[in-house]
Amino acid sequence: MAQAKAKKADASKKMITVTQIGSPIGRRNDQEQTLVGLGLNKMHRSKQLEDTPAVRGMIYKVRHLVAVTEE
């Protein structure tokens, strides 16, 4: 029963797509590590992530290097 509730909760979570549009070359090390934390490591790669405050904070830190699409 708990698994059914977990699956239902997962389906209702809001997702966002983050695409890397800028290079981390010449940027501060923490910005490069933030991209890695988001799962991005090469230009024009996209990741679908859960919309949480932690992810939003990471996106804000590298907002000049990523494009966000809300779904």
Mean pLDDT, the chain cut into blocks of 10 residues (71 residues total): 61 90 95 96 96 97 96 81
- Phi first, then psi: what are they for 44, rounded to 5°? 65, 20
Identify the pLDDT of residue 32: 96
Domain ranges for the chain, please list them.
13-70
Q: What's the token pair of residue 50?
A: 């859960």
Please, are residues 63 and 18 in contact by the beta-carbon 8 Å criterion? no
CA 51/CA 62 separation, integer angstroms? 16
Please, are residues 17 and 46 in contact by the beta-carbon 8 Å criterion? yes
Name the fold adopted by 13-70: Ribosomal Protein L30; Chain: A, (3.30.1390)
pTM, two decimal places: 0.80
